[in-house]
Structure 1
Amino acid sequence: MTAPLPEAIKTALEAGQKAGLAATGGKNADYIPFLASVPSNLFGIAVVTADGRVFKTGDADYQFAIESISKVFTLALVIDQIGPNALREKVGADPTGLPFNSVMALELHGGKPLSPLVNAGAIATASLVPGKDAEACWAAILDCQSRFAGRKIALSNDVNTSEQTTNFHNRAIAWLLYSSGSCYSDPMRAVDVYTRQCSTLVSAADLATMGATLANGGVNPVTGERVIGDDKTAPILAEMTMEGLYTASGDWAFTVGLPGKSGVGGGILAVVPGELAIASFSPPLDPAGNSVRGMAAVTAVAKSLGRNLYRPRS
């Protein structure tokens, strides 16, 4: 597909900025101390096309914690290694209909996570990352994030410390996974690696590049590097459609019609396969854990560009 012309993208960014600034409510995540301290007025949007053009506005270069958006890229790493069928068998490919950190979802399904994009499934996915120890697994994840972003991504020690000292719920989930045979490494190693993957710093421009790599069939459109096989992107985008915005995923599919992923650091990512990716950043979250301004902004950009997978383009 041919990406929109620059003038159309610039107009869409203006619409996104207007919609985001008009959106009110929400609050920073406060159960992770670092996230509570991020200025809540920050707001940026970026679009990166499948042919490598970058457009951005506002605080699109501000680096924030990637948080749960990291699940997409660890999923990409694992699915590229073991294939989509093995991933679906071991982790699952269905929405849970429950909050992202739900223990009940595990209990209702015999200890098997339903999706790699909720915490239980993401911990199980992290346990499948190849490596002889936690450091080797972590190095593979960090390299994967960096290749998707087209630059060297770094761990934030402040975010990681804040998360590692408060991740008791995730540790409990890991032991439940292990007890049911759905954790494929030492459970505390899996939680450690998973927590680190959530603690890297990215910008909205980075996220848009990462998403554009998925839109471009696994080739980073800025660097030209193939990051994953072109047959692996469709299952990843399907997972994003089903569970990318947690309990708001159905509403997102209904109203926006694009594969998406959110993180409690304030990031939102949406992908138009074959064309581009849209990303936004703003810390205040709705009750489901999604950025209030970010959702409004990405929705407006997609609508301005006329992009919705379920609506024919005229």
Structure 2
Amino acid sequence: MIDLNRLNDMRRLNRSEAQAVMNDMMSGSMSDVHLAAALASLNHRELHLEEILGFRDAMLEHGQTVDLGGVACMDFCGTGGDGKDTFNISTATAFLMGAMGVPVVKHGNYGVSSTCGSSNVLESLGYRFPQTAEDARRLFEHKGSVFLHAPFFHPAMRNVASVRSALGVRTLFNIMGPLSNPASPTHQMTGTFDLRTQRLYAWCTERMGIQAAVVHSLDGHDEISLTSDVRVYSTRSHFHKVTVADFGLTPLVPGAIGGAETPEDNAQLLSNILKGEGTVDQRRVVAANAALALTVWDAEATLDAAFFRALNFLDSGRAYDHLQSLIS
């Protein structure tokens, strides 16, 4: 059983100790009070690379993995927990990138610390999640893109779900979600709710051998928001700043990228964007995130050219055709 005194004392865990802590949380053997106390303790200490890798080991051990035969693919999944309640930018970006020919394996879940998570909006769009590794593999081979609903591939998460929901704040599991894709993608575009977590993700993606971009907007968004400049870590260029002006734009007001009240309304909003009928600001934000993702996927791509390529493709409506092919 987890030693809460050890966690409260802020003593660093090694990889195997961290794996044991996560095993206890995922096993269902802990009371809700004990689990909540453990999550609260972890929230108030700085996490370290070996701890994150140990937590990840346990999550993958308790789940089912998806073998895609070594095919290169990309995930788009942020930590959430930034409190911004934007529309589903990473999901829209995933559809756009898939339509542009990039193989996508996106990992996501229902919203816990946000109004509408990626799984909420995908369900409202009519997407049917694969429930087994074999189903996921077949869908990926047939469609070129697949969306993985975390509870189907990490069923032990049900043992922490009620406590996470009751807490209503970001926890360790916000950090672990983007690092625990059961398909182990080769490329990733992800975002974090703070700079400390971004630095941790940078170390993790390097250690895991992933070609990645990890972003944190300086006003707190866990994606490129175009409301402020963004700090980017990429495995090719390490830490650097990307400004709104780098896209030839001026900063947006935060309300321009706000989400809707319900999953159904968010699904309609996302559909309009993919049709090329969203607002200019919505389309530009999705194109900006896709542009950075394209520079991760293609070492020859440049940010400015990739932005206009993505924006033109989005305006053509072909991303919506891709959505329709995935839900048909």
What TM-score, normalized to structure 1? Answer: 0.24
Structure with higher RCO (Cα < 8 A, 6+ apart): 1
TM-score, normalised to structure 2, is 0.23
